[in-house]
Chains A and B, each alone.
Chain A
Amino acid sequence: MLTLFEREHLDVNNLAEADTAIRVEQLSLRFGSKPVLENISMSIPKHQITALIGQSGCGKSTLISSFNRLNDLHQHCHYSGKVIINGRDINSRKENVAQLRTQVGMVFQRPNPFPMSIFDNVSYGLRLQGINTRRQLDEAVEQALHDAALWNEVKDRLFEPANVLSGGQQQRLVIARALALQPEILLLDEPTSALDPLTTLFIEELMAGLKKRCSIVIVTHNMQQAARVSDYTAFLHQGRLIEYSDSDTLFTTPRKKQTEDYITGRYG
């Protein structure tokens, strides 16, 4: 029988080890006495875009932050369970968190370039790694800016302060900053919520291109965005993983009623 559209979906609920970028096992997390994540188990596929959707406060940002231990910044954060990246449980005490964060890059909701030049922003992480030779830095910065589709716009003003750039450019700069470290995983925490629709589309297109380089996890409260960019989508509600499947299925024929209600906007 003739197949018109080539489309293959991995079974994310039963993912092979080779295809897994992050494996979460029974992760529970609370801030003080307030539970935020409850017993989450999921596998995030390699070289795919996985979206986490859900209402505000459902724990999606916390979940993404537990992939690079950024929750450690909160004073009263307690967690149990495992987050396995490259076969290592990153929640273990022995984990070198700084090292981990170079492998798992992160981009935040508001563009947060450092108050320095564009060049220094992109080379920030590299310098922290002890890479100081001018030639290495030059090459890495140019490559990263190319990857973030920003090179042509800033190549003539690399040494101008980064905060003269527009919002979309700043966000791409921040992505370039993360890419300069050649991360295996890129976490995007509502990366376009502060940007206008057209810039948003631009960043989304950039993400699709970055898929080849790294596995991407994106948190968004914009369902349309999740639908547009993601290959796989997980729906969280009140700290629990409700449904997790490929986006085509989730957005056309969700299996759970809660998901259906949420994506159709029926949540009251």
Chain B
Amino acid sequence: MQQVAFNTHISGRFNTELENLRNSVLTMGGEVEQQLVDTLKAIQLNHPGLAEKVIVNDLKINSMEMQIDKECLRIIAKRHPTASDLRLVMTISKVITDIERMGDEIERIARLVTKQKLPSSASVKSSMLLIGERVADMMRGTFDAFARQDEKAALEVYEQDTRIDSEYKKLLTFIASEMEKNTESMQDWLEILWALRSLERVGDRCKNICEYVISLASGEDARHTSLENLMQKLDNLS
């Protein structure tokens, strides 16, 4: 397991800056995770107030993204990071984009509650909450893997996405059959589909971040490769 060591720079300030940067990403990730949990709670309890809070809170996440982005820029301009430092900064710069997008997707789900467009079917709602829980778990795992820069953990989280995808597909077919039965509220169904799609996208973004973590930790580019190839490469590494 390769670990970026933070305490070996001659420049102590550079250490602190990198550490702060990494922590700020985790703070931002924690914030988004909280948003997802709040949203799921709002759906479960049908609590528009809580959903409203989530929507407002998204601005905070946007601001965080901008600050971290600026800090990355500043570190690159002033510190001229190289090798693992450079990979870290670049990864962070990409990770925060994904996190910010997650925030946007979650905001969209929350709007389902404020618009009072929650599915009337209890089974759909429970399936949706189940997927939501899965996604939240995955998100937690992703940030964990990022914090520890643990490529094994990242790979495990990566695999979870296939389960979410299959459940998402199952739910889609179920909803499609429901839609056939109940065609007059098509508009509502579309809203629900969008929300579901967003939930699934959050999972995809987590997958992206896992890929970044793997490439950050191992130096190998893990994007756009199939899982088998990835496994192969990891075996070669260890």
Chain A interface residues (CB < 8 Å from chain B): 1-5, 198, 201-202, 204-205, 208, 224, 227-228, 247-248, 251-252
Contact = CB atoms under 8 A, between A and B. Distances in A.
Nearest to B68: A4
Contacts of A204: 11
A73 B49 CA distance: 75
Given A201-B10, A201-B11, A251-B78, A2 B63 contact: yes
B115 interface: no
A200 to B, nearest CB: 9
Given A205-B11, A227-B78, A251-B74, 16 more contacts: A1-B63, A2-B27, A2-B60, A2-B63, A4-B28, A4-B71, A5-B20, A5-B67, A201-B11, A202-B10, A204-B11, A227-B79, A228-B11, A228-B14, A251-B77, A252-B70
Contacts of A201: 10-11
Interface string B7-19: 0001111100000
B12 A205 contact: yes
Contacts, number: 52
Main secondary structure of the interface of A (DSSP, over half): helix
Interface string B60-94: 10011001101101100111100000000000000
Given A1-B60, A2-B60, A5-B67, A208 B13 contact: yes
Given A1-B63, A248-B74, A208 B12 contact: yes
Main secondary structure of the interface of B (DSSP, over half): helix
Contacts of A202: 10
A227 B80 contact: yes
Nearest to A203: B10
Contacts of A3: 67
Contact of B67 (A4, A227, A248): A4
Q: How large is the interface on B (under 10, 10 to 19, 20 to 34, 35 or more residues)?
A: 20 to 34
A247 B78 CA distance: 8
A206 to B, nearest CB: 10
A148 to B, nearest CB: 16
A2 B30 CA distance: 13
30 contacts: A1-B60, A1-B63, A2-B64, A3-B67, A4-B24, A4-B27, A4-B28, A4-B64, A4-B68, A4-B71, A5-B24, A5-B67, A198-B10, A201-B10, A204-B11, A205-B10, A208-B12, A224-B80, A227-B79, A228-B11, A228-B14, A228-B79, A228-B80, A247-B78, A248-B74, A248-B78, A251-B74, A251-B77, A252-B70, A252-B73
A8 B8 CA distance: 27
Contacts of B60: 1-2
A33 B63 CA distance: 55
Contacts of A247: 78
B78 A228 contact: yes
Nearest to B25: A4
A252 B74 contact: yes
A67 B68 CA distance: 38
Nearest to B67: A4
Contacts of B73: 252
Contacts of A2: 27, 60, 63-64
Nearest to A250: B77
A153 to B, nearest CB: 15
Contacts of A224: 80
Nearest to B79: A228
A224 B12 CA distance: 17
Given A205-B11, A228-B11, A5 B71 contact: yes
Contacts of A205: 10-13
Contacts of B27: 2, 4
Nearest to A230: B78
Contacts of B71: 4-5
A184 to B, nearest CB: 23
Contacts of A208: 11-13
A251 B79 CA distance: 11
Nearest to A208: B13
A201 B78 CA distance: 14
